[in-house]
Every structure is written in structure tokens, then in C-alpha cells.
Amino acid sequence: MHENLEYIKNLFYSGGEVIVLILEMISVICIVLGIIVSVKQMVIRRISKTEKTPLYIKVRMKFGGWLALALEYQLAADIVGTTIAPTYEHVIRLGAIALIRTFLNYFLNKEVKEEVETRKVLIESGLTDDR
């Protein structure tokens, strides 16, 4: 019976480690996709030169959204990692990381929302024709 429990425990830990790795990989993929999409948007906007909205607003909005998504996956990876290895050190580290990432994510989302509002104002005032 004890051997079966050890086998299940090892299987649980191994599965958890795989899930952590997958979540971390998805996070990195989100960042890479954000870079690609943002650079593509910059190049297209630079070539067209017809848009009145400042380029940095659009790029920050686009990249900021991808970063926020990546942070969510990183936080999920940390939660799973702490679940499979719940030592006091891991729990304290998770708490600190979760707090830092939550603040980063909060302010990043706040900044993106402000950029959206700025864009709406620019559209309504006729300073940009981008919709």
C-alpha cells in the first residue's frame, strides 16, 4: 500500500513539473508573439504614415496586453510549482512573486486602459481616423 502511495506521489510531482514547464513555455511564447505583433504593427504604421494616433500608444497597448497574458501564465506556473512542492520557502517565495506580479499586472492593465481611453478621445476629437 505504501509503495502505491509513493508511486502516485511521484506521478503527481512529475505531472506537476510538466504542467509548470508547459505554463512557463506558454508565457515565453506570449512574450515572443507580443514582440512579433508589436514590431509588425510598428513597421506597418511607419510605412503607411496615414495614421494620426501616436505610434507608441498602439505599440504599448498591443505589447502590454501580451505581457499581461504572459504574467498570468507565469503566476499559474508558480502556483502549480508551489502546490507540488509546498515548503515554507516555496510558499513565501510564491507570496512575494504573486504580490509583485499582481502589482505589475494591475498597473500594466491600468496603463492599457488609459491608452484605450486616450485613443477614444483622439478618435472623438478627430485627431485620428483610426478606429
Flag whether 131 is in a domain. Answer: no
Is the per-residue pLDDT at 129 higher than 80? Answer: no
Flag whether 86 is in a domain. Answer: yes
In angstroms and rounded to an integer, the radius of gyration of the C-alpha atoms of the chain is: 21
Cα–Cα distance, 23 to 80 (Å, whole number): 9
pLDDT tens digit sequence for 71-109: 889 888 888 888 887 778 877 877 887 787 778 778 877
Judge whether 7 and 35 are in contact, CB under 8 Å: no
For the chain, the domain total comes to 1
Entry pTM: 0.71
* pLDDT recorded at residue 73: 92
Q: What is the mean pLDDT of the chain?
A: 82
Q: Which of the pair, 127 or 56, is modelled with greater confidence? A: 56
Flag whether 33 is in a domain. Answer: yes
Q: Domain containing 14: what range?
A: 2-124
Flag whether 129 is in a domain. Answer: no
Written as one string, the DSSP assignment of 62-112 is: HHHHHHHHHHHHHHHHHHHHHHHS--HHHHHHHHHHHHHHHHHHHHHHHHH
Flag whether 130 is in a domain. Answer: no
pLDDT > 90: percent of the chain: 18
* pLDDT recorded at residue 53: 63
SS3 49: coil
C-alpha cell at 56: 507608441
